[in-house]
Structure 1
Amino acid sequence: MHRPLTGKVVIATHNPGKLREMQELLAPFGIEAVSAGELGLPEPDETGYMFSENAAIKAHAAAKATGLPALSDDSGLCVDALDGAPGLFTANWAGPNKDFPGAMARVEHELRKRGVTADGNRKAHFTSALVIAWPDGHEELFEGRVFGQVVWPPRGTQGFGYDPLFQPDGFTKTFGEISSEEKHGIDWTKPTPEALSHRARAFLNLAAGCLPTRAA
């Protein structure tokens, strides 16, 4: 039995792009969202070996510090030809200065080192693990993936992180070339809503389990 999420929630992130996406996804449910960054919470060490473990570390730390439910996303880009890298180290590849253009260039550099050209195996996927943690230690986990390929050069200025590098299957545009509404891809008017991005797909699972009613 899932536990309902209502009222106010802490988004356990210091990433403004990720915070913006989570606020957009939560908006139809009337959930008030504040970020760990806004509250001045420290970033805990992410010592897990899976996305779900790192998401749980961040969510529990924020819930314990604030006494509020906390929602955390841990996500990453996994490139087949790089044995799943950057994976858990997706953010680390950008360094402390969040140099994502440099991180995207490193992906391409590593592919070229392995002889992967523009016509080679550039399959990749984004994965997202969403964890809600409550102050009493209870947690809920929801996951989502989107498959596609990495392109070079990066295209577009929308989104954040590696979005300009990733073109989802069935699309001619990268995540960096589409709006956040297109990227989420959720049509709440449908009896069974679908989603495009990894985070939105994980959120649909979360909504079905913990957000049973939407605000009018």
Structure 2
Amino acid sequence: MSAVELVCASANPDKVAEIQAILGPAEVVLLPRPSTVPEVAEDAPTLEGNARLKAAAICEVTGLPAVADDTGLEVDALGGAPGVRSARYAGEQATYADNVRKLLTELLDAGALDASGRTARFRTVALVRYPDGREVAAEGVVEGVIAPSPRGDAGFGYDPVFVPVEGDGRTFAEMSGPEKHAISHRGRAFRALAARLAAGT
């Protein structure tokens, strides 16, 4: 069976590279987002809603099937924050380091000092939108805890402070790409999405 071609709605090169690494070119070929397409306002109240906004916008412009995802880090001690605001937690122009710094500060302010009080999960929703309006979506979740300080140089976003429960104590940023993708939220979401696409659902 030939690979499915999808226009990738993300403008984040780290995320695009990770998605392609997870899927592999044999299953899904990601076509680049047209450079002329402006940023899509991610103002939906849910991860699925934001993924839908992005995929629908790219699909409408290109006339081709488009794939988008949205990811949130849900920290229990912070009432599920940053959640849908994860990428913009420290402000609209926040860097990865800005967001991590704010997260660690908020946890200290909340009195969450040991691992039992720093439980969290990453959640990703991946969604494909077709020109005829059909959609296929899948979700991936991984449980973990927030480390007291960043560790590791790989990955991006909150990876340096997220320690997955199913791992060996390392943060995502201390793992190789394949190690991370095997258990990550994004890996699970996109493998589930690829399986649904292959099954024609």
Q: Same fold (TM over 0.5)?
A: yes
Aligned-residue RMSD, C-alpha = 2.0
CA change 1:119–1:76 in 2 (3 A) is: closer
Deviations 1:52-107 (A, max 9, x none): 01100100000011111100010011100000000010011253444111211111
Aligned to 2:193: 206
Aligned to 1:189: none
Aligned to 1:76: 72
* Alpha-carbon distance between aligned partners in 2 of 1:183 and 1:170, rounded to the nearest angstrom: 11
Q: Which runs of 5+ in 2 are unaligned?
A: none
**In the alignment, which of 132, 135, 138 is matched to residue 136 of structure 1?**
132
> What pairs with 1:1-216 in structure 2 (closer than 5 Å)?
6-36=3-33, 38-171=34-167, 172-185=169-182, 196-212=183-199
Q: CA deviation at 1:27?
A: 2.0
CA change 1:16–1:95 in 2 (3 A) is: farther
Q: Secondary structure at the match of 2:89?
A: helix
Contact persistence 1:129–1:142 (CA under 8 A): yes
* AA aligned opposite 1:69: P
In percent, how many aligned pairs have the same letter?
A: 39
Q: Secondary structure at the match of 2:24?
A: helix
* Alpha-carbon distance between aligned partners in 1 of 2:170 and 2:104, rounded to the nearest angstrom: 18
Q: CA deviation at 1:28?
A: 4.3
* AA aligned opposite 1:12: A
Aligned length: 199
* Alpha-carbon distance between aligned partners in 2 of 1:160 and 1:56, rounded to the nearest angstrom: 23
* AA aligned opposite 1:15: N
What TM-score comes out, normalization by structure 2 length? 0.92
What TM-score comes out, normalization by structure 1 length? 0.86
Contact persistence 2:121–2:145 (CA under 8 A): yes
* Alpha-carbon distance between aligned partners in 2 of 1:55 and 1:74, rounded to the nearest angstrom: 5
* Alpha-carbon distance between aligned partners in 2 of 1:5 and 1:52, rounded to the nearest angstrom: 28
Contact persistence 2:2–2:27 (CA under 8 A): no
Q: Secondary structure at the match of 1:91?
A: helix
Contact persistence 1:5–1:211 (CA under 8 A): no
Aligned to 1:191: none
CA change 1:120–1:205 in 2 (3 A) is: closer
* Alpha-carbon distance between aligned partners in 2 of 1:127 and 1:8, rounded to the nearest angstrom: 25
Q: CA deviation at 1:212?
A: 4.7
